[in-house]
Structure 1
Amino acid sequence: MQSVNHSQQPLVSVVIATFNMGQYLPEAIDSVLAQAWKNLEIIVVDDGSSDNTAEVMGRFDQDPRVRYIQTENRGQPKAKNLGLQEAAGDFIAFCDADDLWHPEKLRMQMPLFEQEGVGVVYSEVSYIDQHGVKVAKPQPYIRHSGQVTRHLVIKNFVPFGTAVIRRACIEKNGAFDEALPMGIDWDLWLRYSVDWQFRYLPEKTYIYRIWPGQMSKNYRGRYDNAFRILNKFLGQYPNSLPDDLIARAWADMYVSRGMAIAGAEKTFAEPLRDILTGLRKDSTYWPAWRSLAKLMLRRV
């Protein structure tokens, strides 16, 4: 993108919801402030931290681009929604308090909004460890652009922190569902995908930190919420997908849960029930047959 006058750039509001991330938060903020795209603001919502977050935020007191809001601990969805309510920009972006932005992130992603109907622009991710050392990880899902509901209902392929969204998406399709403890991004993307185009930028603009203190992988809780989110979406938008695709979505849900349980718990009966349920939903779904073979051969 060619050099743009600061005053001509749309304002981008960056929401950082944080809880006890004082050790990493300043680095996350610095990475956003280092953007080549200069017309931005940062709203840091402190969700009841008990560490040194308030102390480290003191270094940003004199920067008018950074606002610091302290609340009692109410959970991630409410913290993020408070940030959305305080945001002044026509575009909203996110950065988790332990992650980082590439300095060219907004300058690379914002031009894609010039295409009509685009509500969400997202990108690829790179990874670092707790010391900031690069970590190699394969891309887990195929990414998609355009009308993505039919793909998104099968897999959440949008890395949350990479996304920039139009404020109009929130106004038309709502903010985060505060009743959901997990999976709030998939719920959001599903709703937005009904009325908005998504655009994928293959460049790595977001740096995800993998470290030992992260939330444990609660795979059962994650799938409990995923079932809830899919039910909710299909109830809200009953005509958004054909029956065969809905069947495939449920098939993938059951099979994915079964394989997650098999891999984590090394059990057989419960994963088998899930995979067979998936096949009853859609007998032509080849990943289900592949998963069944892996389970039977004990290669999970």
Structure 2
Amino acid sequence: MNEQPLVSVVIATYNMGQYLPLAIDSVLNQTWTNLEVVVVDDGSEDDTREQMKKYGGDPRVRYIPTENKGQPQAKNRGLQEAKGDFIAFCDADDLWQPHKLEVQIPCFDNEDVGVVYSEVSYIDQHGEPVDKETPYERYSGVVTDKLVIKNFVPFGTAVIRRSCMEEDGAFDEDLPMGIDWDLWLRYSMNWQFQYVPDKTYTYRIWPGQMSKNYRGRYKNAFLILNKFLETHPNALPKAVQANAWADMYVSRGMSLATAEKLFFQPLKDVLTGLRYNFFFLPGWKALLKLLLGRARV
């Protein structure tokens, strides 16, 4: 690409005035210069509007205050307002690294690639680095068979080709959580994904954030998986679908065992997972941990 195409960066925010300017500044400080930032304020009740006044004279930043309708609606409003050939995301409490777009956008030279994503680093609520292992293996190419088992695409790292949205839709507004996994599954049916190992995105870990709501996450994950498999019943081999359900039940069971020190409900989930795939090794490992009490220590 000889000329820089326009990249639209959507930031949906709700009561994140303390972090929002840091997120915006990290995007504006990109080595990639042809970009716009679309900030959709989902009815914030803090000082977000005051914080946004500092960007009033910057033509690269558009501030769109709305009524509080939830993050899917806010993100979709951002997508509607985006003018770029490519669309990227940054959560209001996170940060971009300056080279993010410079290393990711060239991957779109391959016209089959619809989503380019990268690796993540972590900080705490005060901005101090946090050591955390990468939870999932990353994949490139045609990834539906891997993605249906684990959402290995960190949301804020993703840059999408505008055609993805135009051809395969935006976020499902009926889902309060897990909307990115639902989106990636749909996009994976028609587009390739490309992983860039650079740490271009910094995820902030702080008390009270939605990502800690594991029960809500799993509730919506079950809905998303069921919806995808019902919509695309022949997209994946039966064995892959069985693995997806097995992993879903086992993962939920072990989350409950670890977080709430439960036994019988996790045991039921693990056994259900093994009924989907008797040879699912993580299920047997989870069962052993439960029986030995290690998952609840």
* Superposition TM-score, scaled by structure 1 size: 0.97
Instruction: State the Cα distance separating 1:165 from its structure 2 match.
Output: 0.1
**Structure-2 residue corresponding to 1:207:** 202
**Structure-2 residue corresponding to 1:64:** 59
Distance in 2 (CA, whole Å) between partners of 1:57 and 1:156 is: 33
Q: How many residues align?
A: 295
Q: Aligned letter for 1:17? A: A
2:203 partner SS: strand
**Structure-2 residue corresponding to 1:167:** 162
Q: Aligned letter for 1:139? A: T
Instruction: State the Cα distance separating 1:254 from its structure 2 match.
Output: 0.6
Distance 1:231 1:216, change over 3 A: closer
**Structure-2 residue corresponding to 1:269:** 264
The equivalent position to 2:21 in structure 1, one of 17, 26, 30, is 26
**Structure-1 residue corresponding to 2:88:** 93
**1:281 counterpart = 2:248:** no
Instruction: State the Cα distance separating 1:116 from its structure 2 match.
Output: 2.8
**1:52 counterpart = 2:42:** no
**1:84 counterpart = 2:87:** no
* Superposition TM-score, scaled by structure 2 size: 0.98
Q: Where in structure 2 are the equivalents of 1:108-257 lying within 5 Å? A: 108-215=103-210, 217-257=212-252
Q: Aligned letter for 2:260? A: E
Distance in 2 (CA, whole Å) between partners of 1:125 and 1:38 is: 22
Q: Out of 185-194 and 261-270, give the one that drifted further.
A: 261-270
Instruction: State the Cα distance separating 1:124 from its structure 2 match.
Output: 0.2
Instruction: State the Cα distance separating 1:239 from its structure 2 match.
Output: 1.3
1:195 partner SS: coil
Instruction: State the Cα distance separating 1:211 from its structure 2 match.
Output: 1.6
Distance in 2 (CA, whole Å) between partners of 1:28 and 1:192 is: 26
Instruction: State the Cα distance separating 1:216 from its structure 2 match.
Output: 6.4
2:41 partner SS: strand
Distance in 2 (CA, whole Å) between partners of 1:215 and 1:255 is: 22
Gap regions ≥5 residues in structure 1: none
Q: Deviations over 1:101-142 (max 9, x none)?
A: 000000000011111300000000001112211111100000
Instruction: State the Cα distance separating 1:235 from its structure 2 match.
Output: 1.3
**1:39 counterpart = 2:22:** no
Q: Deviations over 1:190-214 (max 9, x none)?
A: 0000100000000100011112242
Instruction: State the Cα distance separating 1:64 from its structure 2 match.
Output: 0.3
1:256 partner SS: helix
Distance in 1 (CA, whole Å) between partners of 2:209 and 2:219 is: 20
Distance in 2 (CA, whole Å) between partners of 1:210 and 1:251 is: 29
Instruction: State the Cα distance separating 1:182 from its structure 2 match.
Output: 0.5
2:283 partner SS: helix
Distance in 2 (CA, whole Å) between partners of 1:100 and 1:154 is: 28
RMSD: 1.0
1:224 partner SS: helix
Provide runs of 4+ in structure 1 moved above 4 Å. none
Q: Out of 98-107 and 257-266, give the one that drifted further.
A: 257-266
The equivalent position to 2:292 in structure 1, one of 273, 288, 297, is 297
Identity rate, percent: 71
Q: Out of 38-47 and 207-216, give the one that drifted further.
A: 207-216
Distance in 1 (CA, whole Å) between partners of 2:63 and 2:211 is: 27
Q: Aligned letter for 1:142? A: E
1:122 partner SS: strand
